[in-house]
Amino acid sequence: MNISALAVSGVLLLFAQTSFSAGMEKSSQTIMPFLESGNYAELGIAQLKADISGQVQNQDSLAQIGISDFSTGNLVNKNYLFITGAIKLQLRPDLSVGFLFDKPFGTDLDYRYRPETVIGPLDIESVRVKFDSNNISIPVGYQPDAHWNFFAGPVLQTLKGEVELGGQNYYLLNGYTSDLKQDFSMGWLAGLSYQIPEIAFRTSLSYRSPVKHTFDVQEQLPIATPVTLTGKTTVKTPQSVNFDIQTAVSTTDLIYASLRWVEWKDFYVQPPTFQEVLNAYSVYDSSLKNVSMIQYNQNQLSAKAGLIHKWNSDWSTAHELSWDSGTDDSLSTLNPSNGYLGIGGGLIYHYNEKIFLAAGLHYIRFRKASRQKSTDSNVIASLSKAANNHAIIYGFKTGFHF
């Protein structure tokens, strides 16, 4: 077969390792670099430019005080940087170890609605939610023959976050802040792979455990004289399953696909003082007991499929389609969409038999989330409608065998 391993690798990070999916997912946590032959290393950088907006609720009431602009503006920081890297060492013909780095979970929501009114600018609502993570996976693989690879290993993960709520729409929580200090914790991964190198066929199934983080958290209460309280809160990043498959269909063409499941339904963020404030005011409004700072209704399912065409010994191109189910949460500033459809393309240059350079572009069109459901209760502000939201991801990757 003339399809080289470099052609496959060159496109799979550009798309498979970069994500803007349901919940806070920013990486598909693929194991593919670890399955490369021999000793291998790679580095990938991608940038996301998003245009995500909507319109606020209570427009009739706002119009009475002279407000005519109901747009939220862009809800996210326009540029989001993705960095991934991997080193895989073949220690013996039957033993390998890998070090895979990515930033799997995160969000950067920065929204302030301060329109002009008959009495001047008025803070209606503002939300700042920022989470960031770092992940190092260390799979160790056993290859009894040229076809099978069984692997498992630890996952080292850091996570930190901050939340700020403001504006009149938040009433008792106007001015609330929380700072979840960076926490280090561990999980694990395991899986298996089967390949037939002669026809560039490879399939793999991998599982990642949840990772439980216990944060030192500082919360500031929105009262006349601000009071900062310290405590602890627990957040569990979700478990996930990845299935990947690829095969050559001719001497110049290879097709690939992936399916990913993530258990977002068990993920929630609820600092202790935040809950105590809600409990105290629940005597006036019983629904406040069920309010969550951040929580998701459903688990996520996503899929990708693509074609790589090798034009000659130097150049290959790739085309890909992607789909994400979303988490079926109500339309809000934290959830302005419910899944997406995407299309992308990539160009791979083979510098020599061991080194490649690749660049790619992916366009995402988000599906609009549904209006607030009567059973939902989320403190992050609801929206009356979402715009035609979209994002573009463009990236670069280099990899080499040594």
Please report, as a single letter, which amino acid is at residue 392.
Answer: I
Q: Give the structural domain span for 118.
A: 5-401
Most trustworthy range by pLDDT among 31-45, 75-89, 158-172, 216-230: 31-45
- Residues 99, 140: Cα–Cα separation, whole Å: 9
Total structural domains within the chain: 1
The reported pTM is 0.90
pLDDT for residue 264 is more than 80: yes
* Summary mean pLDDT of the chain: 86
CA distances from 360 to 113, 153, 246, 309, 316 (A): 35, 31, 19, 14, 12
Residue 66 pLDDT class (50, 70, 90 cuts): confident
pLDDT for residue 342 is more than 90: yes
pLDDT score at 371: 63
Q: Which residue has the higher pLDDT, 323 or 79?
A: 323
The pair of three-digit structure tokens given for residue 182, joined into one six-digit string? 């960076």
Give every CB contact of residue 199 below 8 A, 6+ residues apart in sequence. 1, 247, 248
Question: Any idea what the CATH number is for the domain that residue 39 is in?
Answer: 2.40.160.60
Percentage of the chain modeled with pLDDT above 90: 49
pLDDT score at 225: 67
pLDDT for residue 93 is more than 60: yes
pLDDT score at 192: 98
Q: Are 154 and 140 in contact (CB under 8 A)?
A: no
pLDDT for residue 77 is more than 80: no
Best CA proximity match to 6, nearest among 160, 200, 287, 175: 200
pLDDT score at 71: 86
Q: Which residue has the higher pLDDT, 118 or 7?
A: 118
pLDDT score at 47: 87
